[in-house]
Each structure stands twice: as C-alpha cells, then as structure tokens.
Amino acid sequence: MAKKNLGDIEDNNKNLGGVSALFNSPSKEVTAKGQAPLPEEETVTYPLRLKKGALKALKILGAQKGITVRELILSVIEKEYDL
C-alpha cells in the first residue's frame, strides 16, 4: 500500500493534533555526491519499554524537530551522562 501524504490535516482541527507526526516520516539527511557515508560505531540492540503516551509524545516531538525517536532518546542520554 502506498504511503499517503496527509499534508496539513491538523490545521484548524483540535481533535487531530499530532496526526501528521504519526504518519509523515521525518526528513532524512542527504549526503553530498562523491562523499562516502560516515562510518558508524558498532551498535547493539536493547529493548526499551515506553508508555504509549510517552512514545506518541516523542514521535510528535521528533517530527517537529525532523529527527527520529531513537535520535531523541540517544541525545538525551548523551547529554545527561556526558557520553
């Protein structure tokens, strides 16, 4: 099924607040031509349980800032613990 762009569905409708954040993907960084992507450190997966409301809020915040929920969580952890 093709992904639909809902545009500004939540404008002037208080009942649809955050809908576009749930359906629209955040913008992705584009690398310049001829540049190789930066090598990433080795990563491991770690399951994280969140309340539905917290995850929804993170998705909305991430969409507003144009980053993923993963990047939001990692940035907060790095700032808090000076990693």
Max CA pair span of the chain: 46
> How confident is the model at residue 11, as a pLDDT?
64
Q: 83 falls in which pLDDT band (50, 70, 90)?
A: confident
> How confident is the model at residue 56, as a pLDDT?
95
Tell me which amino acid residue 20 is: S
At 51, give phi and psi (nearest 5°).
Answer: -70, 150
At 72, give phi and psi (nearest 5°).
Answer: -60, -50
Tens digits of residue pLDDT in 21-63? 666 655 555 555 566 666 777 888 889 999 999 999 999 999 9
Name which of 27, 28, 20 is nearest 4 in CA terms.
20
User: In whole angstroms, what is the distance from residue 5 CA to residue 3 CA?
Assistant: 7
